[in-house]
Amino acid sequence: MSQDVSTEAVLEAVEPEAAQEAGVAKKKLGWGFWLAVGWIVLIVLLAIFAPWLPLKDPNENFIDIQGKGRPPYGPSADHWLGSDQDARDMLSRTIYGARVSLVVGFSAVAFGFIVGGTVGLVSGFVRGIFDKITSFIMLVLLSFPALILAILITSLMERSLWTIALTLGILSVAPVGRLARAASLVFAEREFVLAARTMGAKPSHIMLRELLPNVLIPMSALALLGTAIAIVAEGGLAFLGLSVEKGSTWGKLILTGANSRQLEEAPWIAFVPIAALFLTVMALNFAGDRLRDYFDVRELAL
Amino acid sequence: MVVLLLLAVSMLTFVAMNVLGDPLFNILGPIAGDTENPESIAKIEAAEAQYYLDKPLPERYVRWLGDFVTGDMGVRFASDGQPPVSGLIKERLPRSLVLMGMAQVLALAIAIPWGVASAAGSLGGTPSGPRSWRFLAPFFLKATVIAAFAALLFGPTVTVGVVVWFVVLLSAHQVAGTNSVAKRFVDVVKRLAQNFSSALSFGFISMPNFALAVFLYYVFALKLGLFPLRYDASDSFLTRMWQLFLPALTLSLPGAAVYQRLLRTDLITTLQEDFILMARAKGVSKRRVLFRHALRPSMFSVVTVFGINAGALVGGALVVETFFGIPGIGTAVVEAILREDFPVVLAIVMIVAAGFVILNFLVDLLYSVLDPRVRS
Amino acid sequence: MNSPKTTGVLLDVNEYSVGFRTERGLAQVVDKVSFQLERGSTLGIVGESGSGKSVLNRSLMGLISSNRQVEEGSALFDGEELVGRDRQNFWGNRIGMIFQDPMTSLNPVMRIGRQLFEPLRQHLAMNKEQATERAVELLTQVGIPEPKRRLRQYPHELSGGMRQRVMIAIALAGEPELLIADEPTTALDVTVQKYILDLLGELQTDIGMAIILITHDLGVARGRTDDIMEMYGGRVMELSPSEELFSDMSHPYTQALFSAIPRVDQPKHTRLTPISGAPPDPIEPPSGCRFSPRCVYAQDDCTTTLPELRGSDEHQFACFYPVGTDASMQARSTNTTRGHTATGLKIQTAGTS
């Protein structure tokens, strides 16, 4: 409303709720952010130190027909989160499952960021044929329905932790690359880069010292979100039976519990890993979202 | 450009399947390695002839492409007597399309009222008094729905608790005009409700679709018995639609949450515009302003994401179809990939990619319908 | 629609105040404003940005939806008290409002016809044929050529002047007794301004509708209004019949406004005389007369006491030293001699108007 400027100013001073409603980012991270980070740290620590924690063996079958009848056993003093249908302890399985899920998630993102980030950064700066080719490749990769591509690749190789991580990493190269390229394009036009160029700086130097720190900011805010997506993707693959062959991940645990019979008798088998997955993903999403608001990253052609 | 893209996609898939897998093995099984037995050799030669396996890779690709474009999607591997690929597609594609279509429709059906409701506070205007019809009707509606859920899921104790809560809330509203404690109580509840709504939408976004599938299945199919436990292709049309409802709902919820958030943001921005004020000053009611004046100009982000979401929906469909046991192209492609049956894989990948392109084209068209300024 | 009365007071505003609670304190944006509007007459409300004129009108109409608004006083519309009640029932059919920017005030994705039909169907319960007929009539009345064709067009297909006419047509559709025009011509070209203002005048004569014309431009108000009310810092500075305002201005603010208008008959390159200073802070206004910090006549009592409206029933002003009186000239020379006013405003001794 344009007329009465000072009325507007008064009204704005008077209606900060309206500004908040409009989703204007408060420049604060907030207690929710730290709560989310706390959870993530907790899970990571539990995963790292799992072997040293007083947990039962995740693969051992604690069958106790006399005492407790046939498995699955519900939550009790013996099994804090219950056991699955083969009497394996849910608590330790979930924590050990975190190890693989998290590792896959983090390394996929790391791979994607390093490769995609570099390619994007360079394309945005160098432009020309290189840019055209890489952009086309990324577009092709993006046009592939992601899950199908993942299944395609994993089905054709041995399914170890690293190949799964690699697959997911390859999948994340395209979106990350596109973001990095967009950011790089924006910054490459800025004056400080032009200044560096005119001073005769070598292109590699420019990319490393001038562009990278700036591009890194929007990318890092997205790293958390990307990890969440990667973890979910692994879960999806596991659910289809296509994740790592050895060891357990949250997705596989959910699969174990996700048939009618188990759900009927012992829903915790599925719901414990679901809860762990959900909380972790939500924490990552929330923290990533807050970071994005904080750094005020606009959707650079995402 | 688009054609180039589709070609590239198909090439990539073709190469991947041929190079990383062993087609002969996939077609014939162990016989493929059996070069002693003359019967096997005959079979091998027949297969090679049928699939042009003795020709170089590029030529095979071109042959495949030629066939595909003319509608012949080839014959499945390992499939003596089984229907050709196009038959498979014909059988399964409609089912998946119905599933995904339902999901998008549901997503919008959920997101639009939700988004409008959460943005409506921004419209302002004098708040309706506690005794007015405008306030009481939605209140009782909400209370009834929640109480019904509580009764179905949790049993009598919780239901009574819920009813008591609503009585307290209603009385607080009535006296909030005069009693400041009551007023503060009501304000806190309102704020919590707002936060709950945004937390809920955030939760839906974070929940992976397979987990959501399990959860919804547990609650609605097992516990409440509202939905059947599996899909049966031989049932009547209506029964099948009902069977597809829960899977479609699973697919729709994350999308709904995203649309709701986008819609809310855009609506709040639109509601600040002058023409909304003018419409109110004309005497148009709040509801009409929200739905008839403000909604259409606020749909842009939703429509954009709608197009992008289609891609995500395909991936989600894979999972959901597998879990609920629905024979659609999602399950088809998973099985095919595991069997390295590449005519099927190629066909499905191409269809999905093409579908995606068409959808985005439609979305572009939709822009010009929504905003006449774009048309010129 | 009840048979229109043609005389009598339509809007009776008495000590009407609007404030907003802020973190810094209460912002009194409208401070005890009183005026009366007769049926069929035009009141011009003139003031700068920050004078409270827009808030006054939007608040009277009930369009401000903030929880922090504090409304006091009384405003009787045709005998009914507006303050303290939900005014939605008045919108469109008893009080209409048009806004400054016609581009943003019309829904860009809705056809003109539909925007016109809404008030017709809602307030006058017309069906489609009747509404179409009436819409065409309205568009013709506001001077839009090819009205039938316009019904199907979108706002962006019309020029600024036409859009403003459409807006007037829409506001009229509900057949209100009062039309509030909030800076209706500020966003338009000067040539178009004249047409719109002429149009408003014609409509008023034809329909017998009362108009409140809000503007920051005294020139716009002149000749088009029956009375003019000047606002500054949320208070009424001067309220008088239009021509009398110009021939017999009493308030220093009026005089300053008048001098600030560039005139065609002045020689080229004449310096404009702006009013130095800035509008007062509504949360912590200056003590005494709100205008005193910028007034060349300001004396000590201007800073300590808030002047109430005085003068005749017809012509009121809020000043201790009205222009043209001996007291005023005395005050002026005191200030000139000492080089500044009681509020510290410097007076130039050479070249003053």
pLDDT score recorded for residue C213: 92
Q: Sorting pLDDT into bands at 50, 70 and 90, what band is C255?
A: confident
Instruction: Sort strands C25-38 and C95-98 into parallel, antiparallel or unpaired.
Output: unpaired
Question: Is B56:B69 a contact under the CB 8 Å cutoff?
Answer: no
Q: Region A52-59: what's the mean pLDDT?
A: 79
Q: Sorting pLDDT into bands at 50, 70 and 90, what band is A248?
A: confident
3-state class (DSSP) for residue C213: strand
Residue C189: inside a domain: yes
Q: Sorting pLDDT into bands at 50, 70 and 90, what band is B245?
A: confident
Tokens of A157: 């190789």
Can the peptide bond before residue A72 be classed as cis, meaning omega within 30 degrees of 0? yes
* Mean pLDDT estimate for chain C: 84
Contact A274 B215 (CB under 8 A): yes
Contact A11 C54 (CB under 8 A): no
- Rg of chain A over CA atoms, in angstroms? 24
Clarify whether residues C52 and C191 are in a common domain: yes
Instruction: Give yes or no for residue B132 having a pLDDT over 60.
Output: no
Smallest Cα distance from C267 to chain B, Å: 41
Contact A263 B353 (CB under 8 A): no
For CA atoms B260, B264, B265, B270, the dihedral sign is positive
Clarify whether residues C239 and C282 are in a common domain: yes
Any C CB within 8 A of B275 CB: yes
Provide the residue type at B131 as one letter.
R
Q: Sorting pLDDT into bands at 50, 70 and 90, what band is C42?
A: very high
Structural domain including C219 reads 9-94+178-266+275-287
**Sequence-distant (≥ 6) Cβ neighbours of residue B249 within 8 angstroms:** B103, B106, B216
pLDDT score recorded for residue B229: 66
Nearest CA in chain B to A231: B208
Instruction: Give yes or no for residue A265 having a pLDDT over 90.
Output: no
Q: Sorting pLDDT into bands at 50, 70 and 90, what band is A53?
A: confident
Instruction: Give yes or no for residue A30 having a pLDDT over 50.
Output: yes
Smallest Cα distance from B124 to chain C, Å: 5
Question: Of C175, C207, C227, which one is at a domain's C-terminal end?
Answer: C175
Residue C297: inside a domain: no
Instruction: Give yes or no for residue C189 having a pLDDT over 50.
Output: yes
Clarify whether residues C71 and C201 are in a common domain: yes
Instruction: Give yes or no for residue C109 having a pLDDT over 60.
Output: yes
Q: Region C226-233: what's the mean pLDDT?
A: 90
Residue C341: inside a domain: no
**Sequence-distant (≥ 6) Cβ neighbours of residue A69 within 8 angstroms:** none
Q: Which residue has better confidence, A86 or C110?
A: C110
pTM for this model (two decimals) = 0.76
Query: Which strand ranges, in their side-by-side order, compose the sheet holding C25-38?
Result: C25-38, C9-22, C69-77, C80-81
Instruction: Give yes or no for residue A298 having a pLDDT over 60.
Output: no
Residue C300: inside a domain: no
Q: Which residue has better confidence, C241 or B315?
A: C241
- Chain C residues within an 8 Å CB radius of B275: 104-108
Question: Of C154, C175, C196, which one is at a domain's C-terminal end?
Answer: C175
Clarify whether residues C64 and C52 are in a common domain: yes
Residue C306: inside a domain: no
pLDDT score recorded for residue C214: 92
Q: Region C35-42: what's the mean pLDDT?
A: 90
List the single best residue of A2, A5, A6 to mutate versus C (max C Cβ within 10 A).
A6
User: Measuring CA to CA, which residue among B270, B332, B333 is closest to residue B302?
Assistant: B270
Per-residue pLDDT tens for B299-348?
888 888 887 787 778 888 888 888 888 888 888 887 777 776 767 777 77
Clarify whether residues C69 and C192 are in a common domain: yes
Instruction: Give yes or no for residue B81 having a pLDDT over 60.
Output: no
Helix ranges (H only) for chain C are: 53-61, 102-105, 112-124, 128-141, 147-151, 160-173, 190-207, 218-221, 242-247, 252-260, 300-304, 326-338
pLDDT score recorded for residue A20: 39
Residue C311: inside a domain: no
pLDDT > 90: percent of chain C: 8
Q: Region C170-187: what's the mean pLDDT?
A: 87
Per-residue pLDDT tens for A156-207?
677 778 888 888 888 888 878 887 887 777 777 777 777 777 777 777 777 7
* Mean pLDDT estimate for chain B: 76
Highest mean pLDDT among A54-58, B314-318, C223-227, C259-263: C223-227
Nearest CA in chain A to B118: A21
Instruction: Give yes or no for residue A22 having a pLDDT over 60.
Output: no
Clarify whether residues C47 and C116 are in a common domain: no
Clarify whether residues C186 and C85 are in a common domain: yes
Cα separation, A226 vs A175, in Å, equals 10
Instruction: Give yes or no for residue C43 having a pLDDT over 90.
Output: yes
Smallest Cα distance from A16 to chain C, Å: 10
| Domain A101-242+286-302: top CATH class | mainly alpha
Tokens of B77: 């591997």
Q: Sorting pLDDT into bands at 50, 70 and 90, what band is C352?
A: very low
Clarify whether residues C28 and C135 are in a common domain: no
Extents of the domains making up chain A: 101-242+286-302
pLDDT score recorded for residue B85: 67
* Mean pLDDT estimate for chain A: 76
Cα separation, C350 vs A235, in Å, equals 85
Q: Which residue has better confidence, B31 or A65?
A: A65
Nearest CA in chain A to C59: A7
Per-residue pLDDT tens for C64-73?
777 678 888 8
Any C CB within 8 A of A260 CB: no
- Chain A residues within an 8 Å CB radius of B214: 254, 257-258, 263, 270-271, 274
pLDDT score recorded for residue B131: 52
pLDDT score recorded for residue C180: 92
pLDDT score recorded for residue C5: 55
3-state class (DSSP) for residue C18: strand
Instruction: Give yes or no for residue B79 having a pLDDT over 50.
Output: no
Question: Of C157, C175, C193, which one is at a domain's C-terminal end?
Answer: C175
Clarify whether residues C111 and C217 are in a common domain: no
Smallest Cα distance from A25 to chain C, Å: 20
Highest mean pLDDT among A146-150, B119-123, B212-216: B212-216
Contact A5 C49 (CB under 8 A): yes
Cα separation, A228 vs C153, in Å, equals 48
Contact C50 A6 (CB under 8 A): yes
User: Measuring CA to CA, which residue among A154, A81, A141 is closest to residue A112?
Assistant: A141
Residues 7-46 of A with CB under 8 A from C: 7, 10-11, 13-15
Clarify whether residues C113 and C257 are in a common domain: no
Residue C345: inside a domain: no
Per-residue pLDDT tens for C311-346?
888 888 888 888 888 888 888 888 888 888 888 787
Q: Which residue has better confidence, B157 or C139?
A: C139
Q: Sorting pLDDT into bands at 50, 70 and 90, what band is C207?
A: confident
Clarify whether residues C207 and C64 are in a common domain: yes
Instruction: Give yes or no for residue C212 having a pLDDT over 90.
Output: yes
The count of C-alpha atoms lying within 13 angstroms of the C-alpha of C175, restricted to the half-sphere facing its C-beta, is: 14
List the single best residue of B122, B210, B220 to mutate versus A (max A Cβ within 10 A).
B210
The count of domains in chain C is 2
Residue C50: inside a domain: yes
- The CATH number of the domain holding residue C199 is 3.40.50.300
Clarify whether residues C222 and C280 are in a common domain: yes
Cα separation, B263 vs B343, in Å, equals 41
- Comparing A213-217, B115-119, B215-219, which segment has the lowest mean pLDDT? A213-217
pLDDT score recorded for residue C160: 82
